[in-house]
């Protein structure tokens, strides 16, 4: 039968998993900053200055794509946390 | 860090932290969060036309996450959302054209900032007055069906002192009439929905963000949508107004997508947290808790406008 944590331990466990999720998420975000800000910055600036229509057509997919990607990461982390908590 | 598109210097960690805070409040109150995100960007030194366009892009991304959460909880009236699109899109375009006009003919920073302050203070004063009145109703009066929003009890203690006003709009016979069964509304004029959507769209295009600070109260008080459904449906509408607004403002050179992307990274976690919190707090209390936030945004703009100091 799986071990259940006592009521006193539960808030500590929840806080621990929340912290763990935030650390993993922060790692993803830092990597993402480097990817987007360093590699895309100059190209986006040039596109903004020279090809406004192309720029306008990529901004929406960029922000929606990021929303879906980060959402998937969060959901994945949440499932991971739930699975660990069950154990 | 330098953001070359808008020419602003902003610490990306501060930007992501702002996104988190705005995301949490936005998810909780069912608004995009532009009542704080816009003033914060202006305070960070972003020019007002970029504040408007960038905030629209940021809010669009954030609303996708929050809308998914509200959809799972059954807090979206999709029929209402799709009908509102017809009014929202022309409204956003009109707001965006107004920004272009002020860019050419006046000091866009000052005009938008003053309009922003006026709108935020008005919204806060109105919501404080209504929530205070509703909470002061005796328990007996609150349980009376005449004060229930949406014509039926929502099961979340959702009442409003202004529910009678929405009822007057429901009996307005201006064809075509539509029914919104999910919101508990048997018949309402389509024109009432379109006017609310159009006004929300204008604010969204002119001040940035999803204009939830206008649309959410209008859905509750004018159309009589229960607060928890108004929250979810408004977020769905923010995707439409924000998406269209992002593209039209990007074409006009008002979107710094790099700022939006960084701010959004923090907003993703915040939006999820905020959406879950709405399940634990009743309608009038959600509205009363909302009051200080537009005032804080207005104070931030006023400070930046008067002192001319930017954080960046």
Q: Is residue B201 part of a domain?
A: yes
Lookup result for tokens 């923090």 = B266
Q: Is residue B1 part of a domain?
A: no
Q: Which domain holds residue B275?
A: 8-307
Q: Is residue B247 part of a domain?
A: yes
> Does the pLDDT at position B285 exceed 80?
no
ipTM: 0.79
Q: What are the chain B neighbours of A74 within 8 Å (beta carbons)?
A: 65, 268-269, 272
Q: What pTM was computed for the model?
A: 0.81
pLDDT at res. B160:
58
In Å, how far are B71, B81, B99, B181, B253 from B78, measured between CA atoms? 9, 5, 30, 11, 32
CB contact under 8 A, A60 and B243: yes
CB contact under 8 A, B12 and A37: yes
pLDDT in tens, B64-100: 877 877 788 888 889 999 999 999 999 999 999 999 9
Domain boundaries, chain A: 10-86
pLDDT band at B152 (very low <50, low <70, confident <90, very high): very low
Joined together, the tokens standing for residue B137 give 């109703």
- What is the rounded distance in angstroms from the CA atom of residue B51 to the CA atom of residue B41? 6
Is A59 in the B-facing interface, judged by CB distances under 8 Å? yes
Lookup result for tokens 């500590």 = A12
- What is the rounded distance in angstroms from the CA atom of residue B260 to the CA atom of residue B54? 6
Of A29, A59, A64, the CB nearest to B265: A29
Q: Cβ atoms within 10 A of the Cβ of B121, count?
A: 16
CB contact under 8 A, B261 and A53: no
B308: left (phi over 0), alpha (psi -120 to 50) or beta: left
| Nearest CA distance, A7 vs chain B (angstrom) | 21
Q: Cβ atoms within 10 A of the Cβ of B9, count?
A: 12
In Å, how far are A2, A11, A40, B32, B82 from B297, measured between CA atoms? 50, 34, 31, 14, 30
- The kind and range of the H/E element at B189 are strand B185-189
Is A17 in the B-facing interface, judged by CB distances under 8 Å? no
Q: Is residue B3 part of a domain?
A: no
- What is the rounded distance in angstroms from the CA atom of residue A24 to the CA atom of residue B213? 34
Q: Is residue B86 part of a domain?
A: yes
In chain B, how many domains are there? 1
Of A22, A57, A62, the CB nearest to B261: A62
Is A62 in the B-facing interface, judged by CB distances under 8 Å? yes
- What is the rounded distance in angstroms from the CA atom of residue B202 to the CA atom of residue B191? 16
Q: Is residue B312 part of a domain?
A: no
In Å, how far are A66, B54, B231, B246 from B242, measured between CA atoms? 15, 10, 16, 6
| Nearest CA distance, A4 vs chain B (angstrom) | 25
pLDDT band at B153 (very low <50, low <70, confident <90, very high): very low
Strands B8-9 and B177-180: unpaired
């Amino acid at each position: 039968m799986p071990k259940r944590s006592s009521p006193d331990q539960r808030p500590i466990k929840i806080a621990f998993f929340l912290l763990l999720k935030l650390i993993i998420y922060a790692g993803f975000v830092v990597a993402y900053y480097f990817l987007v800000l360093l590699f895309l910055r100059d190209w986006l600036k040039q596109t903004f200055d020279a090809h406004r229509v192309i720029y306008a057509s990529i901004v929406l997919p960029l922000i929606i794509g990021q929303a879906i990607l980060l959402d998937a990461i969060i959901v994945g982390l949440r499932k991971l946390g739930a699975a660990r908590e069950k154990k | 860090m330098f953001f070359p598109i808008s020419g602003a210097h902003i610490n990306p960690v501060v930007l992501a932290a702002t996104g988190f805070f705005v995301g949490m409040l936005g998810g909780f109150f069912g608004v995009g969060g532009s009542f704080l995100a816009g003033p914060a960007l202006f305070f960070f030194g972003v020019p007002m036309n970029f504040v408007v366009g960038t905030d629209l892009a940021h809010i669009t991304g954030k609303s996708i996450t929050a809308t998914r959460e509200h959809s799972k909880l059954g807090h979206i009236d999709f029929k209402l959302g799709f009908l509102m699109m017809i009014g929202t899109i022309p409204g956003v375009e009109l707001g965006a054209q107004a920004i272009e006009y002020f860019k050419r003919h006046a000091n866009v920073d000052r005009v938008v900032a003053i309009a922003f302050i006026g709108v935020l203070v008005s919204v806060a004063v109105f919501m404080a007055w209504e929530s205070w009145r509703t909470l002061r109703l005796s328990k007996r009066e609150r349980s009376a069906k005449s004060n229930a929003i949406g014509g039926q009890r929502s099961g979340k203690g959702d009442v409003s002192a202004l529910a009678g006003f929405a009822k007057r709009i429901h009996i307005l016979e201006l064809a075509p009439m539509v029914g919104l069964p999910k919101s508990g509304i048997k018949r309402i004029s389509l024109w009432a929905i379109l006017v609310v959507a159009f006004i929300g769209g204008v604010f969204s295009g002119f001040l940035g963000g999803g204009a939830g600070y206008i649309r959410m109260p209008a859905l509750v008080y004018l159309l009589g949508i229960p607060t928890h459904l108004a929250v979810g449906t408004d977020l769905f509408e923010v995707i439409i107004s924000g998406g269209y607004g992002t593209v039209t403002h990007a074409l006009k050179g008002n979107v710094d997508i790099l700022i939006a992307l960084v701010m959004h990274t923090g907003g993703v976690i915040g939006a999820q947290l905020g959406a879950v919190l709405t399940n634990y707090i009743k309608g009038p209390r959600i509205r009363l808790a909302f009051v200080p936030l537009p005032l804080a945004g207005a104070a931030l703009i006023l400070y930046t406008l008067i002192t001319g100091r930017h954080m960046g």
